Structure 1
Amino acid sequence: MANDPRDLNGQKLNAALLMLGRDRQLRQELVQWLKQAEQRIGYKGSVRDDITGPIIDALHCDADVYEKTLADGTQFQFFYRTKIARDFLLATSETPTHVWEPQTTRLLKYLAAHSDSDVLVGGAYFGDHAVLLGRQLSESGRHVHCFEPNQAQAGMLLSNVALNGLDNLLIRKQGLWDEGSQKLRLDGFDSFANVVQVGAAEEGFETVTIDDYCADQGCHLSLIMLDIEGAELRALQGATQTLRKDRPAIVFEVHRDYVDWSEGLLKTPICVLLSSLGYHIFAVRDFNTNQEMGMLPIELIPADHVYLEGPPHGFNMLAVLDETSLDRSLFKRVENVSPKLLRHKNPALHHPFDGMPGR
């Protein structure tokens, strides 16, 4: 009826929460209260995703910016735009050890420490991994080559480089592809956007291959990290000379929205390519959030023993030429479990073998 006071579609509620969130102090108090509420709500699903997260999201707009400092002193500014920003903001510790994906962060830092050439990060975003690697390599004379075509996030990455006084990150607003001088655009929102090829006259950004970029820069790579929403295969197809010559370790994302793994991971085109070059391939077990893991081992699942059932999801993978180079005190090989660590799912499939962190 016309005078029904109920907000059945939630429009009034969302507008009210956004208005509350325009007061920074009030927003901070509300966020802190919701963090406390997460510890008290009894719920079988994900409290963050289903209950507190949507409320916190409604307090924000895309222009809201936060600053946060890690335990090692690394400083970050970031837009509140995706789950990455939300979960970083809601980290249990006021000074967490990482921004996103704890085990992947530790893996990247390990691989960078045990090599002697440059690092390339495709999908550098605001620097959640790239800035940490830049700080780690700042005294070594090595560089981190960053590719981020999202203009707003590339600008934030530049700010974070300056904020941390780094001079060894090289930032390109190009897309990594198997052909150079092509035109792409981003389709989707922020970190969820995938690339779409467009005509030369349309708006977009240019592509470059890793092979051409390395030849132009005269650089060698010991580590490649790719999180580019389905363009990972095309980027590696444009890097075959570099892979044969430099033999870098590779950390890359796969997602069922872009990768058909119905016949197993090893039969996907990206794993076929890497296997043909002699790489050993593993899925990395990790939380897709900010979650302190302490010194729990980084669990790696051989690509032919990964549990892949469930709704569409993605996870990171590792490709190395010599699997014996992975320190056994830090890494643990496991089989027939999911790479997705999830607190609210079946412990036999989704919890670390050595126990859930924080318990």
Structure 2
Amino acid sequence: MTATPALTSNDPRDLDGKRLQNAMQTLGRDPALRARLIALLRESEDRIAFDGPVRDEVVGPIIDALHLESDEYEKVLADGTRFQFLYRTKIARDFLLSESEHPSHVWEPQTTKLLLELSRDLQGDVLVGGAYFGDQAVLVARAIAGRGLKVHCFEPNPQQAQMLQRNIDLNHLTNVAVNVAGLWSRSGERMRLDGFDSFANMVTAQDGSGFDTVAMDDYARQQGRRIGLIQLDIEGAELSALQGARELLARDKPSVVFELHRTYVDWTHGLRNTPLCSLLLDLGYTVHAVRDINSHREMPGQPIELVPLDAVYLEGPPHGFNMLAVPDAARVQGSAFRMVEGVSPKLLPHKTPHLHHPVGGF
């Protein structure tokens, strides 16, 4: 057997990647050089021959290596909305890589359209669980400003909650409340986040650290406010949060936009039989999957495509997507919506078009 030669300080190989990582971070400390490198990488995406998602597997990791978690950016949307954000996870990366200097949205174009559409005729406040830095909550708050309605945000990550408050102030909004707390079935539980940034999920805190939980029923009662729309993106805590909102759901009948992910939800026997969907169906809601791309991509003129609960294509690796529950099915029968069947809610440009592209293509 031939012995593996020992590595020396003169060995040019970078077997663990640390030298490359350090080199990329060093390059990234020069903002002007970093911007030029990012622009070059963005331009190269369409030229790279790769059988898979070029952004996630080729270009993205290089751009990620240029950054530290503390790096901050600011972007201005086409409507003048300003966002400051930390470079963390693909939400920040893909927003930074937007095709337009002044894009129409931050993240998940069709879900953003959906929330703004539902905000048009609201009869109550908006409650957002997992508000992050305000990527969608700030836009909704702007849309309902001046109508006597509020957006109540829950974001247990203190750094992202601070960035959320900064974006509220940047846009001169006075109708947003920020709660550094997590939504749960009961108020007063002590929890902490397990995992990194937007991927972190709530677990019990044994040492008293972390944050308090809030049940939506308790919160709405304390505020004395009617709730017209709920949005939840809280990494597996969606069921518990809705269990803590039974009174509110039965009384106010808000529309509910929520994430459903295979990591946390077993849909082996169909979406209808999952506890999340069963809870809402039992309360008389109509539930659809929302077709969207888990990224930033301009989709002008594309209606919001909804898939009936029993007609969703679910095959593939563990994945998640957004759902919409409405108390009145007529709410989604207008021209803003398109009903489709037998397709995936995951819009994936590199996958089979008839399953993973919107009707008519991207």
TM-score range, shorter-chain basis? over 0.9
Q: After superposition, what is the alpha-carbon deviation per residue over 1:175-199, rounded to whole angstroms, capped at 9, x for unaligned?
A: 1111111001000000000000123
1:138 aligns with 2:135: no
Return 118-127 or 135-144, whichever deviates more: 135-144
Overall identity of the aligned pairs, in %: 59
1:251 aligns with 2:250: no
Query: Which residue, out of 213, 224, 240, partners 1:218?
Result: 224
Return 169-178 or 36-45, whichever deviates more: 36-45
How many Å apart are 1:103 and its aligned residue?
0.3
Are the equivalent residues in 1 in contact too, given 2:128–2:153 (CA < 8 A)? Answer: yes
Are the equivalent residues in 2 in contact too, given 1:84–1:289 (CA < 8 A)? Answer: yes
How many Å apart are 1:348 and its aligned residue?
1.2
1:176 aligns with 2:177: no
Are the equivalent residues in 1 in contact too, given 2:229–2:254 (CA < 8 A)? Answer: yes
Q: Which residue in the other structure is 2:194 paired with? A: 187
Secondary structure in 2 matching 1:39: helix
Q: After superposition, what is the alpha-carbon deviation per residue over 1:45-86, rounded to whole angstroms, capped at 9, x for unaligned?
A: 111011100000000000000000001100000000110000
How many Å apart are 1:167 and its aligned residue?
0.6
Q: After superposition, what is the alpha-carbon deviation per residue over 1:305-339, rounded to whole angstroms, capped at 9, x for unaligned?
A: 11111111110000001111224311011111100
Are the equivalent residues in 1 in contact too, given 2:191–2:203 (CA < 8 A)? Answer: yes
Query: Using the alignment, how far apart are the partners of 1:18 and 1:4 within structure 2?
Result: 22
How many Å apart are 1:146 and its aligned residue?
0.2
Q: Which residue in the other structure is 1:31 paired with? A: 38
Query: Which residue, out of 315, 323, 327, partners 1:317?
Result: 323
Query: Using the alignment, how far apart are the partners of 1:52 and 1:8 within structure 2?
Result: 21
Q: After superposition, what is the alpha-carbon deviation per residue over 1:221-267, rounded to whole angstroms, capped at 9, x for unaligned?
A: 11000000000000000000000100000000010000001111110
Secondary structure in 2 matching 1:196: strand
How many Å apart are 1:116 and its aligned residue?
2.2
Aligned AA for 2:42? K
Unaligned runs of 5+ in 2: 1-5
Aligned AA for 1:49? D
Q: Which residue in the other structure is 1:46 paired with? A: 53
Are the equivalent residues in 1 in contact too, given 2:353–2:361 (CA < 8 A)? Answer: no
Are the equivalent residues in 1 in contact too, given 2:292–2:345 (CA < 8 A)? Answer: yes
Aligned AA for 2:329? E
1:158 aligns with 2:168: no
Secondary structure in 1 matching 2:325: strand
Are the equivalent residues in 2 in contact too, given 1:122–1:148 (CA < 8 A)? Answer: yes
Q: Give the alignment of 1:230-245 within 5 angstroms.
A: 230-245=236-251
Aligned AA for 2:144? L
Aligned AA for 2:82? Q
Q: Give the alignment of 1:1-359 within 5 angstroms.
A: 1=6, 2=8, 3-199=10-206, 201-356=207-362
Count of aligned pairs: 355
Secondary structure in 1 matching 2:258: strand
Query: Using the alignment, how far apart are the partners of 2:46 and 2:214 within structure 1?
Result: 47
Are the equivalent residues in 2 in contact too, given 1:296–1:354 (CA < 8 A)? Answer: no
Query: Using the alignment, how far apart are the partners of 2:286 and 2:216 within structure 1?
Result: 21
Runs of at least 4 residues off by over 4 Å: none
How many Å apart are 1:202 and its aligned residue?
2.2
Are the equivalent residues in 2 in contact too, given 1:261–1:268 (CA < 8 A)? Answer: yes
Are the equivalent residues in 2 in contact too, given 1:100–1:289 (CA < 8 A)? Answer: yes
RMSD between aligned residues: 0.8
TM-score by length of 1: 0.98
Aligned AA for 1:57? D
Query: Using the alignment, how far apart are the partners of 2:163 and 2:23 within structure 1?
Result: 29
Query: Using the alignment, how far apart are the partners of 1:121 and 1:134 within structure 2?
Result: 11
Secondary structure in 1 matching 2:91: helix
Secondary structure in 2 matching 1:48: helix
How many Å apart are 1:297 and its aligned residue?
1.3
Secondary structure in 1 matching 2:342: coil
How many Å apart are 1:353 and its aligned residue?
0.9
Query: Using the alignment, how far apart are the partners of 2:331 and 2:90 within structure 1?
Result: 34
Secondary structure in 2 matching 1:171: strand
Secondary structure in 2 matching 1:35: helix
Secondary structure in 2 matching 1:140: coil
TM-score by length of 2: 0.97
Unaligned runs of 5+ in 1: none
Q: Which residue in the other structure is 2:3 paired with? A: none
Aligned AA for 1:297? P
